[in-house]
Chain A
Amino acid sequence: MKVSLQVNKKMVEIDVPPKKSLLDILRDDLGLIGTKKGCGKGECGACTVIFNGKRVNSCLVPALQLDGSKIITIEGLKNWSAFPMIEKAYIEHGAVQCGFCITGFVISTISLFVETSLPITNEQIKWSLGGNLCRCTGYTKIFEAVYDISNQIDTVQLIKRDWHNEFNN
């Protein structure tokens, strides 16, 4: 089936089987390999992307839901003005090890700050990132990175502005 959708602010038109997952479309058809496949069953969170303003496991979204949708992946997110601050926090807190899960965590971090108003509690951070699994880090460094961002009011405002620009323009 033919679907047209907006991926990282660019319109694309693709012809794919209706059941093909958004994850496979991103990776195979659009070459956006920053989104990873850890299970293909919506269990691990490695393929998290933003779909029409909500984060989803892209492996669970079939092509037939995609027409007219807006998608943001890590490739789009890294152009956001807030991204360098998020990247800095992740690097400085040593939150990355093998890295296979980490783009999913970055997307979930964005979602957390868009969905939750400040001040953010520790439990809200944990709950919000609870759907992203990591086998290397013991989560603590990731928590510290996100906690650090939650204390940077400017960064959080920037994330919200970037989000607004993405979905309201």
Chain B
Amino acid sequence: MNFDPKNYRIDASEKIRGEIRYTNDLKIPGLWQSITIRSPYPRAKILEIQFDSEFDWNTVTVVTASDIPNNYVAMLENDMPYLASKIVNYVGEPVALITAPDKNLLERASNFLHVIYEPLSYLTNMLDSEKSEVLIFSNNNIFKEIKIEKGDLEKIKQNNYKKVEIEVHTGFQEHLYLEPQCVIAIPEKDRVVIRGSLQCPYYVKNAVETMFDGKKHITVIHAPTGGAFGGKEDYPSLIAGHAALLAVKSGHPVAVTLDRFEDIQYTPKRHPSYHHEVAYVDKNGKIQGLEIQMYLNGGAYCTLSQVVLARAALTVTGCYYVPNVRIHAKAVATNIVPSGAFRGFGGPQAVFAIEMLMEKIACVLDLSPKKVREINLISKGQETATGQILKYSVSSQEVFEDVISRSDFDNKYRQYKEWNHPILEKLIEDRFPKNKNGGVLKGIGISASVHGAGFTGVGENKIKGVVRLELEQDGAITVYSAQTEMGQGQQTAFQKILSEALHIKRKQIKIAEVNTDVVPDSGPTVASRSTMVVGSLLVEAAKEIVEKLKLKLKNDFGVEFQYRQGYFYRDGHILSFTDAANEFGGFSVEKQYSHPSFIKFDETTWKGDAYPVFSWAAAVAEIEVDPITFQIKVTRYYTTHDIGKAINYDQAVAQIEGGSLQGIGYALYEKITEKDGLFDITGFSDYIIPSFMETPEFHIKILENPYPFGPFGAKGLGELPNVGSAPAIISALWMIFESEFNKIPVLPEDLHSIFLHINKRNYYES
């Protein structure tokens, strides 16, 4: 693939000029606004919904559970209602909807609608969930349980290996896409057209058609989406249903737009997690056995928790080879906003936990954290926890070595230790500095991370995505797929893949609007799969276009043509792709995905090839800790990613920078405290995402170890950068304080209280 720096994004200009139309920029005549009446309780019985007769209810339209043909959001378990009917299970759960032509009327109406509740006891701690008398899901509150076992752990336990143990906790994380959730539903005779900010148009179509019991045709049209990061994977199916119900009942187009407060309070977050990990290691730090218990807090309804858990469980051994392993993972229910998809999808939690175990092993055995990782890194030919033998595109060691040497890790590690020594000595004696003249504490940390590219297990074989290319007579090719652009650069990547595959100009490739009446279902835009899976289908389809044109040329000229560099040729005949299209264009080709046949996975035994291929990364984070305020700042961040092939190099680097920064937020800034099912956040001022001022100097490098079945060798990229950054940063805290850090986020106040604990303990020990 040629590296052309002028391969700029196709959507950049209209975005900079403010001309692109996001959902709420659309001019829709007669559009009504809406309001959602939500539960104030984490769990309660709904006794009655009262309509105060002071208000003229003919001026608005109200929808409650009794209006809904099939009152469940069709997803994995169908346990989540569109509107609660008898019981509410989380604070913010939708109970009723109102739509009206203007906002004032809407607000007045909402003041006259009273829902009478009987509060019930509730459950918010995930570790209490299984044994709780509060039953939220099934008879044990377990959404999904996964057991993976390899080798003979019991035998390892009998041997004389050192036992190293750690408990790890990770918190919620909110996507905080800049554009809040929004959809618009437009009613027609037997049809509802939905336009919205969303990732997966066919998920929405399926859910809303199921809701209407198949009695309405649903057309979903994707609007340019102002960020998603997984947050617009499952949730739009809920609010699209709400908009459609209101639109059908009122007869008007209706917008459901969440304001920032509603969005940050009531939409899914990253699953909080708890891990208990026990490693059996030899004196060099090599892991002989590993036993892992993991819990994910799924919240009140299942949504995607089962598949998030699967990815977490399949990622929980990280980048390491472990000969004997037992994994026991559960996603459980609580009376909290349902957790959902978020970039990394269980991976960031799993990798954070195993990386903290690596730190602990280094600490207990007094080895360097780099060495402990090095000695355990998995390599080509070795077997994962599910028995998948890694046969190709394995770069765990290459990315690790590269980032260590580029960052000058070894020297800095030594220098910073020496530098910190006098500062720490004073701190330990409670002599806190009065100014910064003595300098700040400097840390350097590392992580190794991995992301299974594409759907987990047999997912791709269930979806069997389809794409269609149409060749016009002017030589233009239009791509029909359900993949959505939400900022990640999918449209530009598709254009580039096809122009490279056919050796034609980028501007000859058009991307069709994603409208479910027009585009085939190529699967959802999730799991870092668009470039790798759908991109490979595009290359296949492009080849078929060439074959078809060759056949037509043969029929016309009576001789076989070859295709090279954008030209068909044979002896004295040569004509460009466009020439051939002028003559024979006006047809389309369709391609359906099928997994390479040797990739096999058994979802009942959890054995086999969990992912067709893995993308690999390693990171080094340099941090500074202010010894007065305990503020932590990431100053430099190095990461090396193997993504098979960078389709658009520049934007691949941009993805890595953005994803890494989200991981920095996850580690150091983004804190949500839940109390009685309520979150303590209202917006950007109390949920802190990194700004320009918190952004480190990035040093990004991409390695290209090709995946034989990806387009030009490409593997998944989108999620990986988010997976390894939190553990690299917290590793730097271990390095400075030589003490255990097992919980994120770590805000200055958290670090200060951890420090006081270290201080005291060291005092008594000495």
Q: Which A residues are within 8 Å of any B CB, using their own CB?
A: 31, 33-41, 43-44, 46, 73-75, 78, 87, 90-92, 94, 96-103, 106, 126-127, 129-141, 143
Contact = CB atoms under 8 A, between A and B. Distances in A.
A156 to B, nearest CB: 18
B637 to A, nearest CB: 9
Contacts of B691: 130-131, 133, 139
5 contacts: A33-B24, A87-B16, A97-B227, A97-B488, A99-B487
B506 interface: no
Contacts of A100: 22, 177-179, 226-227
B693 A126 contact: yes
**What are the 10 A-B residue pairs with the smallest beta carbon separation, nearest first?**
A34-B18, A98-B487, A99-B15, A100-B226, A138-B657, A43-B684, A97-B487, A74-B18, A100-B178, A33-B25
A100 B229 CA distance: 14
B660 interface: yes
Given A130-B691, A134-B178, A138-B660, A36 B22 contact: yes
Interface centre among B18, B19, B177, B695 (most CB of A within 10 A): B18
A130 B691 CA distance: 6
Contacts of B226: 36, 98-100
B661 A43 contact: no
B224 A99 contact: yes
B16 A135 contact: no
A16 to B, nearest CB: 13
B12 interface: yes
B742 interface: no
A44 B178 contact: yes
Given A75-B18, A139-B692, A40 B259 contact: yes
B246 interface: no
Contacts of A34: 17-19
B178 A41 contact: no
B8 interface: yes
B178 A98 contact: yes
Nearest to A101: B178
Contacts of A38: 178-180, 260, 684
A31 B695 CA distance: 35
Contact of B15 (A92, A96, A132): A96
A138 to B, nearest CB: 3
B13 A97 contact: no
B14 to A, nearest CB: 8
Given A34-B17, A140-B695, A141-B657, A41 B12 contact: no
Given A41-B260, A87-B13, A129-B692, A103 B18 contact: yes
B695 to A, nearest CB: 5
Contacts of A36: 22, 178-179, 226
Given A78-B17, A99-B11, A136-B658, 15 more contacts: A36-B22, A41-B685, A46-B178, A94-B9, A94-B654, A96-B16, A97-B651, A98-B487, A102-B15, A103-B15, A135-B178, A137-B654, A138-B657, A138-B661, A140-B654
Interface string B525-541: 00000000000000000
B19 A96 contact: no
A56 B651 CA distance: 30
Interface centre among A73, A90, A98 (most CB of B within 10 A): A98
A133 B5 CA distance: 27
B21 interface: yes
Interface residues on B, range: 35 or more
B728 to A, nearest CB: 15
B689 A96 contact: no
B281 to A, nearest CB: 36
A33 B229 CA distance: 24
B695 A139 contact: yes
Nearest to B227: A98
B17 A74 contact: yes
Given A38-B260, A87-B13, A91-B13, A99 B20 contact: yes
Contacts of B259: 40
B650 interface: yes
Given A34-B18, A91-B8, A127-B693, A43 B683 contact: yes
B201 interface: no
Given A74-B18, A94-B654, A135 B684 contact: no
Interface in B653-691: 653-654, 656-662, 683-685, 689, 691
A41 B695 CA distance: 23
A94 B651 contact: yes
B26 to A, nearest CB: 9
A160 to B, nearest CB: 20
A90 B9 CA distance: 11
Contacts of B204: none
Nearest to B104: A17
A147 to B, nearest CB: 12
A135 B227 contact: yes
A133 B25 CA distance: 20
B176 interface: yes
B129 interface: no
B489 interface: yes
Interface string B174-203: 011111100000000000000000000000
B755 interface: no
B8 A39 contact: no
B346 to A, nearest CB: 20
Contact of A96 (B12, B653, B660): B12
Contacts of A90: 12, 16
Contact of B177 (A35, A98, A103): A98
A129 B695 CA distance: 12
A96 B179 contact: no
Interface in B93-107: none
A96 B11 contact: yes
Contacts of B16: 87, 90-91, 96, 99, 102-103, 106
Interface string B615-657: 0000000000000000000000000000000000011011011
Interface in B185-244: 224-229
A78 B15 CA distance: 12
Contacts of A140: 654, 657, 695, 698
Contact of B684 (A39, A78, A96, A141): A39
Nearest to A125: B692
A76 to B, nearest CB: 10
B157 to A, nearest CB: 44
Interface centre among A33, A36, A100 (most CB of B within 10 A): A100
Interface centre among A91, A99, A132 (most CB of B within 10 A): A99
A155 to B, nearest CB: 15
B179 A130 contact: no
B486 interface: yes
Given A36-B226, A103-B18, A126-B692, A141 B654 contact: yes
Contacts of A75: 18
Interface centre among B16, B175, B179, B651 (most CB of A within 10 A): B16
A132 B204 CA distance: 32
Nearest to B177: A135
A97 B698 CA distance: 18
Contacts of B656: 138
Contact of A97 (B20, B21, B654): B654
A33 B18 contact: yes
Contacts of A46: 178
Contacts of B650: 94
A41 B262 CA distance: 13
A97 B689 contact: no
B227 to A, nearest CB: 4
Contacts of A138: 654, 656-661, 695, 698
A137 B658 contact: yes
Contacts of A91: 8-9, 12-13, 16
Contacts of B228: 98
A97 B178 contact: no
Interface in B11-67: 11-13, 15-22, 24-25, 27
A135 B662 contact: yes
Interface centre among A103, A129, A139 (most CB of B within 10 A): A139
